Amino acid sequence: MAKPNRANQKAQVELKEKTLRAYLVAHDAVTNLMELIERRSTMAFLAIKDCESDLDQLERQIDAEMAAAITQVDEPTARELLACVKSITDLERIADLVLWVAQRLHGLARPLPSRDRRLLHDMASTVQDMLNQVYEGMLKRDPAISDPVFRADVRINQICHSLFRQHLEAGAGEHWQESANVLLMAQALERCGDHVKNLAEELFHLVEGRTLRHPPKKKAYT
């Protein structure tokens, strides 16, 4: 295999830097969503739109630059670059979901009930913490973050189920549209948690060289 030239090495470094920057942009999007949930801030809504646009641009750049960067590399480097592609896909999807929730919130005629607001904020805050953990794990190449991230994802699911129980037990009533909005937003935040879980799994695969999704098959004995 030919040795990568300086231009190729520079492209590899830039792709990794762009992926790390995408983590920070996604984190900013979730931070602003928390502000929007709490205070219905127009500035927070505009900031989320900017974050989503920035992540779209980063995804396009990484897709465009990857083919040239991944040539003439060894297996560990190829695995790192493929992790960049997989990560930016999940990060861009998180930004899409956050913007979708923000648009729903921004279009509400009146503020959400305090309990709904608190639980949605709690879900967003947990997503933010998960992103922090995976980002730090990427910097340190620490696969151990997968356990706390998985536990946090379970917590998000529990909050989402709690919201569903609350609204379904209350019945449709005159506020059925408000309930539908809350449940759809909760589902979107639950999906954000799933995408961060994917990121943690990808980090584990990058460092350990094996996946968490499919445990090794036990040997069959005859």
The model's pLDDT over 131-157, given as tens digits with 9 standing for 90+, comes to 999 999 999 999 999 999 999 999 999
Whether 98 is covered by a domain: the verdict is yes
Whether 104 is covered by a domain: the verdict is yes
* Residue 209: C-alpha distances to residues 15, 161, 204, 205 (Å): 20, 34, 8, 5
126 is in which domain, residue-wise? 6-208
Whether 186 is covered by a domain: the verdict is yes
With beta carbons less than 8 A apart as the criterion, state whether 12 and 81 touch. Answer: yes
Compute the CA torsion angle 199, 212, 154, 27 (nearest 10 deg). Answer: -10
Question: What CA–CA distance (Å, rounded) separates 184 from 164?
Answer: 10
pLDDT tens digits along 96-128? 999 999 999 998 888 899 999 999 999 999 999
> What is the identity of the amino acid at 85?
V
Helix, strand, coil percent content, the chain, rounded in steps of 5: 80, 0, 20
With beta carbons less than 8 A apart as the criterion, state whether 70 and 40 touch. Answer: no
Whether 165 is covered by a domain: the verdict is yes
Whether 222 is covered by a domain: the verdict is no
pLDDT of residue 210: 78
Question: What CA–CA distance (Å, rounded) separates 101 from 187?
Answer: 10
With beta carbons less than 8 A apart as the criterion, state whether 182 and 146 touch. Answer: no
Whether 27 is covered by a domain: the verdict is yes
Whether 164 is covered by a domain: the verdict is yes
Question: What CA–CA distance (Å, rounded) separates 93 from 62?
Answer: 15
Q: What is the CATH number of the domain that holds 49?
A: 1.20.58.220
DSSP annotation string for 3-39: PP-HHHHHHHHHHHHHHHHHHHHHHHHHHHHHHHHHH
List the structure tokens of 5: 């030239």
Number of domains in the chain: 1
Whether 50 is covered by a domain: the verdict is yes
Kindly report whether the global pTM for this prediction surpasses the value 0.75. yes
Mean pLDDT along residues 43-54: 98
Which residue carries 């040795």 as its tokens? 3
DSSP annotation string for 70-127: TTT--HHHHHHHHHHHHHHHHHHHHHHHHHHHHHHHHT-SSPPPHHHHHHHHHHHHHH
